[in-house]
Amino acid sequence: MHGRKSSGWIALIYVLIGGLVGSLLGHFLAPLWPPLGHSYFELGTSRGPWTLNLGVFGLDLGIWLDLNLGGIIGLLGGLWWFQRRKA
């Protein structure tokens, strides 16, 4: 039972790492092949909805998702890598 629960977190980590690596490669390789760096999916805000302003300092929290083709390939690669490791 414990193995199944932690397996989901490990899969999420593999997918996130794959997406990060793929997105970075997409940005760096975009001059060679522009579709790799093109942003296909954007979600979120540029300025976070949770703002704490205390006068001396402030804290601004937000989240966004910006997927390019390299990131999508990386996400799928991370999922494939997890499935291969699991077998």
Give the residue extent of every domain in the chain: 2-86
CA pair distance 33, 69, nearest whole angstrom = 11
DSSP code, position 35: G
Q: What pLDDT is stored for residue 80 in this prediction?
A: 93
Below-50 pLDDT ranges, the chain: 1
Does this model's pTM top 0.75? My answer is no
Alpha helical stretches, state H, the chain: 2-29, 69-86
CA pair distance 15, 8, nearest whole angstrom = 11
Q: What pLDDT is stored for residue 73 in this prediction?
A: 92
